[in-house]
Structure 1
């Protein structure tokens, strides 16, 4: 199923270029299960061949991701939890993934909107709890754009540097996700330990 979806994404991007990059990233960020891990590296490969400009591809992918996230944000803000669940049911989106995004947002606050762009699963769904909680729109947009930009640069540049071998990236997707999660968890633990030390020093 995933392999067929990735092949379909590649076919569309090959035909539509920049428009396909924008649409694909917008749909993924609007909670439609289209893998950015296929969109951006293939866009990088197309830049390698000279069909696209790498910088333009990265910016268009970032803008598309931000636009899709804004759509999901307003779904949560205007419709609240009932509409989000109805939307999930109609598109057969796993409620467990949305609940996981809720958990992260409630636990780590608004900054998770930025960091989540580098995390598996919740990067697609974090906009929903942000909207439900009525997070400030300007802050949401800035965090989303910056997080999406880093993600687009990473995957787009890797696809560009690997050229025709970009296809190998597909076997690294899950390992890369795990590595990022480990790094984020390590950073959070570090911050918590440092905060406790500061409290102990003050006391």
Structure 2
């Protein structure tokens, strides 16, 4: 079974879209709160939500095991934490009158004990770690090419270095997972899955 093409393309493209809108919004020096901030974060939120079925579909390609189930569980926890983060950021921007007000609301939330590691620094990283482990497991079973895990990891590390690289991160995730797409999708984009 191959991953539905719409999901496979939409989730990473939303991450790339978040990065592109963020860069455009920051170009004038007035990023957030405002339409550019909200649009970027809505793209990011949608991407995270769409990754839930992507992760579940990827896991179905693997035989049941503790590694698979543990990886999927941690990945979904990371996605959940990231979804809370995006939702909070969108809410604070909607309530704020200016950037200072938005920062104040955000700091009030993140200063609650446990909030920063739960939703900003530690748990969200489980999504990216879990996605890399899933691609390694799929590559070991020859369901993905050998280059998919390192490409995915490189893309993720770029965004960890700077959020300005988010468009490249989204593109790297898409290319790394593309061989899992339905064969007819690969034919339409001029590629084929060599398994």
Tell me the TM-score normalized by structure 2.
Answer: 0.27
Structure (1/2) with the larger helix percentage: 1
Tell me the TM-score normalized by structure 1.
Answer: 0.26
